[in-house]
């Protein structure tokens, strides 16, 4: 007797909902199943649904970046399942940026997209889809008689109103005093890049206000706003914010911690979708940490961590409130405030050249080329190779 197997066909919306929970690597393979799947994966609805699922499930990844030299950087892709295990160890080389002679800075990520920049170039990169886009040079006119131009602090974020990704950049124009043979005080311009228009425009800024501090620790993107530690002349420091939607700057006061920034530096970060400011002492073999969070227009102290021995500075939070720290020996460690356990993760680098980048897997297109077309090289490396490079002084 012949048996008939019943075939159950799921409704298209249910099927797409299931698929939107899968990692990007699986979705890239499933594009070959049929044309309708491939088309659906590229719709804004599916891309948004996929991103929302990652947010809801806290499925973010971490890049640990070791600045190697002027021609390359190590990116260690840390497992989102078990922090002890590294999924990938790669040396990633960006020729369109590195050939300028400056290493790329990656301040943060937005919706799975990373913005890389140096003194010359700016680029966008989606490490999940391996799409890379070098942003075209600015065509904005400089003031007359400019001797030299420097591209300073940069911010990157998402405008949810127009569904656009934007880059804001500060430009310092220097004029030479021929009599004194010195450079005068720079004149600042602010440029805004739109991914939709693929072009730069000049926008007004707050006169005399400039970001300050270390590029990768004192500015951060949080929920549609980019924040910098800033100052106006020699006056007291504050926070400069930029709204990606209305394209306007505003200022916020620093938390009233009663300490000098010279002795207790501040690091801006994202704390559960809120702007956070982490304070810690500059000197000493033991470091205590205070976390302040901006909520509803005012700062409140959310966390105080008693002194931890042999740590240098904070790097960012993990999923369950654990804090990544850099030790005095340049090793990456993970601290759990709940039980005060300190876990060594076994990676070493120059103390000033290591930082973390948190990102969610994303299908967001950026209108660029694939990595191989841009001659971007991903070379798998063993951890022992990284240690050898460190001994030779390359990292």
- DSSP state, residue 81: S
- pLDDT one-digit tens code per residue, 153-195: 889 999 999 999 999 999 888 877 655 455 556 778 899 999 9
Measured in whole angstroms, how far is the alpha carbon of residue 256 from the centre of its chain? 27
Residue 177's pLDDT is what? 63
Instruction: Answer whether residue 268 shows pLDDT above 80.
Output: yes
Tell me what pLDDT residue 394 has: 40
**Which among 221, 195, 214, 301 has a CA at the least distance from the CA of 254?**
301
pLDDT at 102: 61
- Nearest Cα to Cα of residue 151 among 168, 174, 172: 172
> In the numeric block, which tokens belong to residue 211?
């970001």
Residue 100 confidence (pLDDT): 57
367: left (phi over 0), alpha (psi -120 to 50) or beta: left
In this predicted structure, what is the pLDDT of residue 111?
A: 92
Cβ–Cβ under 8 Å, residues 203 and 190: yes
Rounded CA gap, 360 and 293, in Å? Answer: 22
User: Cα(127)–Cα(310) distance, rounded to whole angstroms?
Assistant: 33
102, two tokens:
């400056």
CA 363 to chain CA centroid, Å, is 17
Task: Return the minimum-mean-pLDDT range out of 323-327, 335-339, 380-384.
Answer: 380-384
Tell me which residue has tokens 């990656």: 106
Mean pLDDT of 219-243: 88
Q: What confidence score (pLDDT) does residue 25 get?
A: 85
Domain boundaries, the chain: 9-57
Minimal CA–CA distance to 222: which of 176, 186, 268? 268
Q: Hey, CA dihedral for 50, 51, 52, 57, is it positive or negative?
A: positive
> How do residues 56-101 score in pLDDT, each as one tens digit?
887 777 776 655 444 445 565 555 455 454 444 566 776 666 555 5
Radius of gyration of the CA atoms of the chain, in A = 23
- Asked whether the beta carbons of 67 and 395 are under 8 A apart, the reply is yes
What are the tokens at 104?
A: 């790329």
Q: Which residue has the tokens 């980048």?
A: 357
Residue 240 has which token pair? 């400069």
Contact yes or no for 199/192 (Cβ under 8 A): no
């Amino acid at each position: 007797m012949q048996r008939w197997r019943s075939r159950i066909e799921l409704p298209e919306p249910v099927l797409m909902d299931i698929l939107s929970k899968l990692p990007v690597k699986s979705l890239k393979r499933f594009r070959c199943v049929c044309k309708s799947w491939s088309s659906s994966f590229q719709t804004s609805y599916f891309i948004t649904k996929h991103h929302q699922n990652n947010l809801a499930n806290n499925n973010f990844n971490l890049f640990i970046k070791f600045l190697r030299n002027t021609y390359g950087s190590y990116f260690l892709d840390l497992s989102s399942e078990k922090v002890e295990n590294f999924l990938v160890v790669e040396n990633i080389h960006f020729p369109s940026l590195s050939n300028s002679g400056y290493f790329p800075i990656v301040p943060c990520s937005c919706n799975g997209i990373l913005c890389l920049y140096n003194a010359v170039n700016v680029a966008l990169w989606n490490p999940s889809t391996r799409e890379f886009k070098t942003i075209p040079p600015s065509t904005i006119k400089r003031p007359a008689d400019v001797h030299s131009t420097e591209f300073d602090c940069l911010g990157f974020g998402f405008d949810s109103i127009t569904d656009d990704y934007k880059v804001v950049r500060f430009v310092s124009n220097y004029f030479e005093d021929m009599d004194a043979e010195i450079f005068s005080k720079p004149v600042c311009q602010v440029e805004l890049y739109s991914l939709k228009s693929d072009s730069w425009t000049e926008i007004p800024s707050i006169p005399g206000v400039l970001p300050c501090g270390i590029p990768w620790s004192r500015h951060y993107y949080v929920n549609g706003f980019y924040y910098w530690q800033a100052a106006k002349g020699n006056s007291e420091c504050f926070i400069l914010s930029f709204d990606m939607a209305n394209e306007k700057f505003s200022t916020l006061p620093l938390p009233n911690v009663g300490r000098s920034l010279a002795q207790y530096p501040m690091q801006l970060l994202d704390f559960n979708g809120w702007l956070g400011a982490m304070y810690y002492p500059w000197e000493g073999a033991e470091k205590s940490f205070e976390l302040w969070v901006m909520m509803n227009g005012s700062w409140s102290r959310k966390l105080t961590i008693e002194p931890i021995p042999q740590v240098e500075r904070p790097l960012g939070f993990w999923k369950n409130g654990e804090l990544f720290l850099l030790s005095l020996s340049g090793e990456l460690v993970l601290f759990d405030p709940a039980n005060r356990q300190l876990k060594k993760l076994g990676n070493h680098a120059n103390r000033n050249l290591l930082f973390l980048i948190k990102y969610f897997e994303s299908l967001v297109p950026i209108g660029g080329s694939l990595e191989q077309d841009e001659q971007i090289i991903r070379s798998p490396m063993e951890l022992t190779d990284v240690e050898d490079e460190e001994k030779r002084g390359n990292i």
